[in-house]
Structure 1
């Protein structure tokens, strides 16, 4: 029965999303325009008003789809995992385009991009065609010749394309978004979609603004129009400022600026609130309802994330590796369960009060009940400051050695809803570069601890490092490397040390040489909070549903309070556009604030019930070199010096060494390495069905901002 209920929820999600997309497709047509005007006219004299109609039709379908998605996610976690099989969707996730400019694109991504481009072209064509049909009377009214009128109208319609991009812009960066979690989309991929949509939106907005200003300049209308704050219709000044703000956000988001001046990127990105408010004033409330769902849900999720990340905990212990990498052990509630490849965001106020940094979790919640660990490579200003802080060196002029603990704020974990994506493979090929091995540590611990038949047990890990001392990062999976029981778990390791040349050194020699890891334990008696995740999916569904219903009620109420019931046939133009927009904005903020306050009360009650842990047993697994000296199983793994791996040979030998007809290839590391592996996956999987060769299914786990 539960299975059919989940199928029903999934069906409803898809139907509502399709309905919302269909509205965008139908909106440019004359049939929709005529019918919609009739519906609005009828709604104005009812209790719901035209504003209520706009919200219910244009915004609520996708909001309801997200609510159902959270309910589905809550029920899905309790469903028994079962063996998955290779499907068409899995095949569509493999690389089709591998390019240094656009990265790695799968068939599914190309299909979605193609459909979105077709939609934009359709919208632009229909809108411009309708404008050109009315060209003669319209251009005479505007006193423009043919080419000026066409240029002006095409520039105007570019603004609608920017609006379509804005409607989707915020969905990819919602960290707890159900769609991406349910389909196992990595946060790195969704951030890439956000970047593409933002660039496309500002390109259309720039064409819109530049084309309009160009025609105004020709007609000597710039001074009359540019600085006008119109009482009715579109407010041009708001649009101009909004475009400038958007361009500032885009420029500071470029890799050249973002990587060198991260704080500039971080702070200017918060100008999006000004951009959205000015967009509302420029386009008016009718257009705002089309982009409202993403803004509405993003605002709720952003505030909930702030609530969850406000309590501070402390670092329990830290382990310093010879390669200047550190493993930080943090407390967590035993009830907090997360999936492999999950990431957390942490902030350390003693280093920076505002900077949040993301890290892959290196531990498994099935192995460590009350702790979780992250491994950090110290090669930047913030990470080096953390390294000094842990060693007790002065930070920002303060002597940290007298500090009893290191306060830290934690947000997350965020990751796929389940590990079901692993169960469809016969075997796994894991390719890691340097610190990119971190998510694989959690995957290996998870698989080895489940003891279930639905996960692959034949795994090969290709680990590429610059120096031998980085081998100590594999400490947490050393028991798996020495376990040669092929019936339960078989892990084969291939290490490539690219910047050293040695002869005869084995993995055991490297482990024994770099096994000296310094462990620093901090006092934990003052810990009063343990991270317990980012909230229940069902509670998020309730809050979003409550807030959207409250928004609708307030919107209808304010519409009748501030705007008297009009007689049938009257228009809304008697009211100032900016005043109508202010009412919509007031309704938005009131509903969001009340909804978040309700959530805060519920959250506070749950925190009071939380049993704070006074002792933590897992302070970090010590590396015992003496116990490894007699274990020759380590020497059976391969070690190569002075060269990068030949992936063609690795893929060719993989069937004989590990076996399996359906192989999951997971990659985390430098972009060039990822592109190389993706290219070989694409070549090796072509015609694999007909020739019965192993099929390699590619996944990228990279995450870089």
Structure 2
């Protein structure tokens, strides 16, 4: 317990340190547009910045030095960009340091110790419970008071950033308009267009953090990539709105000043307009398909257009220059590392041992996994079946428990789209194949869970939304059967369209543990489209076993059991390699051109080389770590038998033990959730909702002070 407290204190101190560094960068964003920065701080930076690494005359966006002072007014001066580059490099290294210490976990920590720890934290949380109260905000969905406060602060930062840059540059309008031979309002339009793009870049800085699935930062904040998708959506909409306004204002400006030919210019030593236009077109193509109706009805279109982000970023850097793009380096750098690790994992074919076919057009896929692969309830895994589509990856909640089923990983897939229907047809056809090639990415999930801190859990699901709750119930089953501690009461409220969907309840417990379940479990099932039980008996669950293949491997943790330590190694080592290569490139390629000629080194070449060096550094570091862990995993794979596991024998030799006898089934109506929740008398109740958007919003509106609300969904 003492060891756990020390580690908790260390993690808290490191998180505080990382927060202070982050707030320092926020403070710089606040100060930069002000006169204090330009009249005092900038002069000091100019006087003391003389670095071969980051500073060269007239390089990057804007041009101080030989390009003249007029362009330094048009864009950021170089030393500002150099300072930002160094600050963000420092921020990235601080986060790396945080990961090193954050990865120190108390091995073998008992559930009882965890309960004591959570009980203490629960008392503290009670005082701040109002910060987690759910609110329904139009356009944002279900948000907590904390999320709404932080979002408001971010909008305020963007408004401040925009307003003060406009104020600063409007002071120079008279000089610029005379130099250009323009009217003052035309020059003001140009200034507003610039500031709009600069503010959009501020939003772009945070855009990639939420979609970094194996993030080293989100767990420090108690977040997961699935729960953070909504932040990515908010930031993406704001970013594209600002960039679209930026491009539109410049087209208007060039039109009224008779300079439309500017649209066709690619300046190798200044801002490239064509690159910016290509980037904007790619962004618009990506943005349009994120509209909810398009995303739901044409998922493939949404998926494939989302890959335009690659071209969007490349041409964005070529448009602004690498110096200006450095402001987004930390988030994008971590995203690229995560994306490459996912690519390496996806190249491996995993071992699918069996499939269970339910009468409600639902299938359960059972994979072999390494005993060293541990994950928490509500974790998700991405699955690709090349036979159906080589490019489509779909996320599914893992229903198995890594403690109850040490060598098995299971997911449930319901036929609700074209991809899942094709998969169901392939598996359930009379001439079913004896092997199905599958690749996976993940698992991804919460670093910790807090279900034990509640006196009672009320889990409300709609349709296939029951799958996250299966994993939670199995986790609590393991705790209740192996640890001498009290588990919360559970009320599961499941809403189905047809009675055939009741068969999904048969999957709540694995067969080998269905008799040892000591949970206080109450199940209320509602069938909305039928008024009475079916007269015909449902088809039994069918099990199909696949033949083993030597090329298929169990699912292993990508970076081994010490994944956070290895991830830290990749981040730190790749970034050091990048800085070394960048320094050599600048010293021996860029500097001689800038020093010995009147023509600056090409911005386009500089941007391309920086992107190449980043990718090269990540490939070297990540590939080395991945191959090392793959070699270690291969030794364990030899120990996993290719024959059927004990669970497979039980599936065939024992009759299916259904839990339907222990539930109440209601036909012809939906549950009165307000009445059900109002009758709950426990003082500390956790309500988890997984299902349609309207269901989640209805429950959020009902929750009172003694109820902790949590929505489980994956918005793709």
| TM bracket, shorter-chain basis | 0.7 to 0.9
- Output one character per residue of 1:380-423: Cα deviation in whole Å (capped at 9) or x when no partner: 22111111221245xxxxxx64x43111111111000012x223
Contact 1:6 1:76 in 2 (8 A): no
C-alpha separation in 2, matches of 1:583 and 1:64: 22
Q: Does the 8 Å contact 1:425/1:455 carry over to 2?
A: no
Aligned to 1:692: none
In the alignment, is residue 608 of structure 1 matched against residue 660 of structure 2? no
Shift of 1:355: 1.0
Q: 2:574 maps to which residue?
A: 547
| Deviation, structure 1 residue 35 | 3.0
Residues 170-249 of structure 1 mapped to structure 2, 5 A cutoff: 170-223=208-261, 225-249=262-286
Distance 1:455 1:31 in 2: 59
Residue 20 of structure 1 aligns with which residue?
Answer: 25
Post-superposition offset of 1:105: 1.4
For each residue in 1:350-392, what CA deviation from the matched residue of structure 2 results, as whole angstroms up to 9, or x when unmatched? 1111111110011111110100111111132211111122124
Aligned with residue 41 of structure 2, among 23, 35, 45: 35
Which residue, out of 5, 10, 15, partners 1:5?
A: 10
Residue 484 (structure 1) shift: 11
Query: 1-side partners of 2:179 and 2:200: how far apart?
Result: 27
Q: Is the 8 A contact 2:85 2:327 kept in 1?
A: no
Aligned CA distance change for structure 1 residues 94 and 193 (closer, same or farther; 3 Å): same
> CA-atom RMSD, angstroms?
3.0
- 2:136 matched to which residue of 1? 97
- Cα-to-partner distance string for 1:104-162 (whole Å, 9 max, x where unaligned): 11111101110100100110111011011222112211222222222221111000111
Q: Which of 290, 296, 301 pairs up with 2:338?
A: 301
2:305 aligns with 268
Q: What is the SS of the residue equivalent to 2:715?
A: coil
Counterparts of 1:346 and 1:77, CA distance in 2 = 31
Residue 678 (structure 1) aligns with:
700
Match of residue 538 from structure 1 = 565
Compute the displacement of 1:199 (Å).
1.3
Give distance in 1, aligned partners of 2:280 and 2:43: 30
Aligned to 1:316: 353
Q: Is the 8 A contact 1:91 1:697 kept in 2?
A: no
Within 1, Cα distance between the matches of 2:509 and 2:497? Answer: 20
Aligned to 2:521: 491
Between 33-42 and 301-310, report the one with greater CA deviation: 33-42
**Deviations for 1:30-63, whole angstroms, at most 9, x for unmatched residues?**
4334534643564435566569954752322332
Q: Cα offset for 1:627?
A: 8.3
Task: Write the distance in 1 (CA, Å) between the matches of 2:484 and 2:528.
Answer: 37
> Structure 2 vs 1, CA of residues 380 and 627 (structure 1 numbering), >3 Å: closer, same or farther?
closer
Partner of 2:440: 410
Deviation for aligned residue 1:91: 3.5
Alpha-carbon spacing, 1:344–1:156, altered in 2? closer, same or farther (3 Å): same
Residue 330 of structure 1 deviates from its aligned partner by 0.9
Match of 2:685 among 642, 647, 663: 663
1:458 equivalent in structure 2: 489
| SS of equivalent residue, structure 1 residue 247 | helix
Alignment correspondent of 2:197: 159
Following superposition, the deviation at residue 635 of structure 1 comes to 5.2
Q: Which of 451, 466, 475 is the equivalent residue of 1:446?
A: 475
SS of residue in 2 equivalent to 1:4: helix
The correspondence of residues 470-481 of structure 1 with structure 2, limited to 5 A, is 470-477=501-508
| Helix, strand or coil at the partner of 2:529 | coil
> Does 2:679 align with 1:653?
yes
| Range that drifts further, 520-529 or 278-287 | 520-529
For residues 423 and 306 of structure 1, the distance between their equivalents in structure 2, rounded to whole angstroms, comes to 36
Partner of residue 468 from structure 1, selected from 480, 489, 499: 499
Q: Secondary structure at the match of 2:583?
A: helix
Partner Cα separation in structure 1 for residue 516 and residue 403 of structure 2? 21
Measure the CA separation in 1 of the matches of 2:244 and 2:715.
28
Relative distance call for 1:313 and 1:472 in structure 2 (3 A) is same
Partner Cα distance (2:24, 2:173) in 1: 32
**Alpha-carbon distance in structure 2 between the residues aligned to 1:515 and 1:68:** 56
Deviations 1:85-115 (A, max 9, x none): 051555322212254x432111111011101
Q: 1:333-344 maps to which residues of 2 (within 5 A)?
A: 333-344=370-381
Task: Render the CA deviation track for 1:515-561: whole Å, top value 9, x for unaligned.
Answer: 72111111125364111123211101100100111111111111111
How many Å separate the matches in 2 of 1:312 and 1:479? 25
Correspondence for 1:85 among 122, 131, 152:
122
Relative to structure 1, the CA distance from residue 11 to residue 357 in structure 2 (aligned partners, 3 Å threshold; closer, same or farther) is same
Q: Is 1:699 aligned to 2:705, yes or no? A: no
Shift of 1:628: 6.1
Secondary structure of 2:687's match? strand
Whether the 8 Å CA contact 2:212–2:225 is kept in 1: the answer is: no
2:666 corresponds to which of 640, 646, 651: 640
Judging changes above 3 Å, is the alpha-carbon distance between structure 1 residues 479 and 315 closer, same or farther for their aligned structure 2 residues?
closer
User: 1:265: Cα distance to partner?
Assistant: 2.0
Q: Greater CA deviation, 283-292 or 451-460?
A: 451-460
Contact 1:45/1:567 (8 A) holds in 2: no
In 2: Cα distance, 1:173 partner to 1:676 partner: 27
Asked whether 1:124 is paired with 2:162, we answer yes
Q: What residue in structure 1 maps to residue 546 of structure 2?
A: 522
- Give 1:690's aligned residue: none
1:549-564 → structure 2 map (5 Å cutoff)? 549-564=576-591
Does the 8 Å CA contact 1:476/1:621 hold for their aligned counterparts?
A: no
TM-score, structure 2 as length reference: 0.87
Using the TM superposition, give the Cα deviation of residue 70 of structure 1 relative to its aligned residue in structure 2, in angstroms.
Answer: 3.1
Q: 1:126 to 1:530 in 2, by over 3 A?
A: same
Q: Deviations over 1:169-227 (max 9, x none)?
A: 1111111113333444354432221122111111111111111111111110112x111
CA separation of 1:501 and 1:98: change in aligned 2, threshold 3 A: farther
Matches of 1:39 and 1:591, distance apart in 2: 30
2:212 and 2:338 in contact (8 A); partners too: yes
Q: Which residue of 2 aligns with 1:688?
A: none
- Aligned counterpart for 1:74 among listed residues 84, 103, 111: 103
Q: Secondary structure at the match of 1:338?
A: coil
Distance 1:641 1:220, change over 3 A: same
Q: Partner of 2:301: helix, strand, or coil? A: helix
| Contact 1:248 1:268 (C-alpha < 8 Å) held by counterparts | yes
The alignment covers a number of residue pairs equal to: 668
* 176-185 vs 554-563, greater mean Cα deviation: 176-185
Deviation, structure 1 residue 6: 2.3
CA contact (8 A) 2:359 2:500 kept: yes
CA distance in 2, matches of 1:703, 1:572: 55
| Gap change, CA 1:218 and 1:567, over 3 Å in 2 | closer
Q: Match of 1:352, SS?
A: coil
Assess, with a 3 A threshold, how the Cα gap between structure 1 residues 287 and 47 changes in structure 2: closer, same or farther.
Answer: closer
Query: Structure 1 residues 98 and 74 mapped into 2: Cα distance closer, same or farther (>3 Å)?
Result: same
